[in-house]
């Protein structure tokens, strides 16, 4: 690619002293990538993740015009990162896209090919502010499911249990569609999710509590579950009239978007946003319980990523921290003056506060006093 080639000519980095690959350096790129895909399947990566990483690796070799693995040095990798950052600065790529490229290349070179000397640091994610879903939104979706007359009772039961599972059990989408009958423990009220992240969590934080609502919907759904397989390893959620085909991430995403549209919900919606929203609702009230339900190894992860207040939370903060009851403007001015006389308030702040109060009141008097409500 001429864009990268031109950039690389002006970018100089000391050449790293690296060894040749013992095995894969003798293979053509297609064979290497084929083995990379097989390795990712063994590592239990999802189909979407595998396809994404495969595309990023091919993009690297296409952009840099590197033909063989022997040509890949630390300098090439550093130069490619600098090139991506330059394209990010131009607006050609988005920040999160550049981050995934750098991360996926590290998986390929470091973890799959065993070349830690080729590791290049990634960049931070771009913070995306989302208008998180609320319980009211979930109730509107469930109402849309219940009032549909164009689908069977079996489909209604399936759709309801999926929505409730996402909201109350807070699974990742890969954990949800891998759920088996044996993973749902109705007696002990525990759900076992399977993923690489969940497997690294201590056992006492690994199993989310089965909420009453999910247990109820699961009990109803079992009567409609469209499959002859009932062993512990059988998929928990089966699409209706598909000869036992389990639900897929694509199925769940489309279902959520369809019902959000029917319910008039304009917020973004996806399985991940459901997890983010429900997890934040819980974390804002009890972070430790949220850590368990989300399956986080560290409470820091919960506190960092699942404690973002929405408008309702901000109102609660305001209600808790702001004095209650109406205070007249004269009362406020009197209190400020006393603080100024006691030298608790600098003259500049005192004058600024009086000016702000005058602008806030608009000069309107009510019975000789302006009422300023702090609620």
Which has the closest alpha carbon to 251: 152, 140, 169, 158?
158
pLDDT at 176: 95
Give the pLDDT of residue 109: 93
* 2-118 has CATH 1.10.150.130 classification: yes
In 3D, which of 194, 202, 144, 159 has the Cα closest to residue 173? Answer: 194
Whose structure tokens read 């009086």?
354
For residue 197, the model assigns a pLDDT of 86
Return the minimum-mean-pLDDT range out of 117-126, 152-161, 329-338, 366-375: 366-375
Whole-prediction pTM = 0.63
- In this structure, of 14-18, 67-71, 345-349, the range with the lowest mean pLDDT score is 14-18
Domains 2-118 and 135-314 alike in fold: no
Domain boundaries, the chain: 2-118, 135-314, 326-373
Segment 150-184, tens digit of pLDDT = 999 999 999 999 999 999 999 999 999 999 999 99
Residue 365 has pLDDT above 50, yes or no: no
How sure is the predictor about 6, in pLDDT bands with cuts at 50, 70 and 90? low
Q: What is the pLDDT of residues 38-90, one digit of tens each?
A: 999 988 787 888 999 999 999 999 999 988 888 999 999 999 999 999 999 89
Residue 227 token pair: 């499959």
Among the residues of the chain, which ranges form H helices? 2-9, 29-42, 47-64, 74-90, 95-106, 135-146, 153-168, 173-177, 196-199, 212-222, 249-262, 271-283, 287-294, 299-305, 311-321, 329-341, 347-361
135-314: CATH architecture: Orthogonal Bundle (1.10)
Poorest-pLDDT segment among 46-55, 284-293, 329-338: 329-338
Q: In whole numbers, what is the pLDDT of the chain averaged over residues?
A: 85
């Amino acid at each position: 690619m001429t864009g990268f080639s031109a950039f690389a000519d002006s970018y100089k980095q000391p050449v790293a002293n690296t060894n040749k690959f013992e095995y894969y350096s003798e293979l053509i790129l297609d064979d290497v990538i084929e083995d990379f895909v097989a390795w990712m399947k063994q590592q239990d990566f999802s189909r979407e993740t595998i396809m994404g990483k495969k595309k990023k690796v091919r993009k690297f070799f296409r952009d840099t015009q590197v033909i063989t693995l022997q040509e890949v040095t630390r300098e090439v990798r550093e130069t490619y990162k600098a090139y991506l950052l330059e394209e990010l600065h131009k607006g050609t790529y988005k920040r999160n896209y550049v981050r995934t490229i750098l991360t996926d290349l590290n998986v390929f070179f470091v973890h799959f090919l065993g070349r830690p000397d080729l590791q290049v640091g990634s960049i931070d994610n771009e913070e995306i502010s989302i208008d998180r879903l609320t319980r009211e939104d979930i109730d509107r979706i469930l109402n849309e499911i219940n009032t549909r007359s164009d689908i069977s009772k079996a489909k209604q039961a399936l759709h309801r249990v999926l929505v409730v599972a996402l909201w109350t059990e807070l699974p990742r989408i890969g954990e949800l569609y891998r759920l088996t009958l044996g993973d749902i423990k109705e007696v002990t009220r525990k759900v076992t999710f399977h993923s690489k992240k969940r497997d690294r969590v201590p056992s006492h934080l690994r199993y989310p509590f089965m909420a009453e609502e999910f247990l109820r919907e699961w009990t109803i759904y079992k009567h409609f579950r469209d499959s002859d397989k009932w062993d512990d390893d059988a998929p928990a959620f089966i699409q209706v009239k598909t000869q036992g085909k389990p639900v897929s991430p694509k199925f769940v995403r489309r279902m959520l978007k369809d019902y959000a549209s029917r319910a008039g919900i304009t917020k973004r919606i996806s399985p991940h946003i459901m997890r983010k929203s429900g997890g934040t609702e819980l974390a804002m009230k009890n972070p430790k319980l949220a850590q368990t339900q989300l399956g986080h190894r560290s409470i820091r992860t919960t506190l960092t990523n699942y404690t973002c207040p929405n408008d309702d939370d901000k109102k609660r903060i305001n209600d808790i921290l702001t004095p209650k009851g109406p205070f007249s403007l004269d009362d406020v001015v009197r209190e400020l003056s006393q603080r100024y006389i006691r030298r608790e308030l600098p003259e500049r702040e005192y004058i600024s506060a009086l000016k702000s109060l005058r602008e806030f009141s608009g000069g309107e008097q009510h019975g000789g006093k302006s009422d300023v409500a702090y609620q």
